[in-house]
Amino acid sequence: MIAQNNPLIQIQAVSKIYQRKNNSIIALDNIDLEINEGEFLALIGQSGSGKTSLLNLIGALDQPTLGKIIFKSNDIGGLSNSELSLFRREQIGFIFQTFNLLPALTTVENVASALIHSKLSQAEVKNKATKALSQLGLEDKLHRFPSELSVGQQQKVGIARALVKNPSIILADEPLGEMDPIAGKEILDKLIELNNELKITIIIASHNLTLEKIAQRVIFLNAGKIVSKEQTPYQSKFIQ
pLDDT in tens, 207-228: 887 787 788 999 999 999 999 8
For all residues of the chain together, what is the average pLDDT? 90
pLDDT higher than threshold 80 for residue 200: yes
Q: What is the DSSP pairing of strand 40-44 with strand 201-206?
A: parallel
Q: What is the C-alpha separation between 24 and 8, in angstroms, rounded?
A: 31
Look at 146 and 4; give whichever has higher pLDDT.
Answer: 146
Per-residue confidence band for 5, with pLDDT thresholds at 50, 70 and 90: low
Q: What is the C-alpha separation between 103 and 131, in angstroms, rounded?
A: 21
pLDDT in tens, 29-42: 999 999 999 999 99
Nearest to 117 by CA among 160, 142, 87, 159: 87
Decide: pTM greater than 0.85: yes
pLDDT higher than threshold 50 for residue 1: no
Q: What is the pLDDT of residue 235?
A: 46
Q: What is the pLDDT of residue 240?
A: 36
CATH topology of domain 38-61+89-231: Rossmann fold (3.40.50)
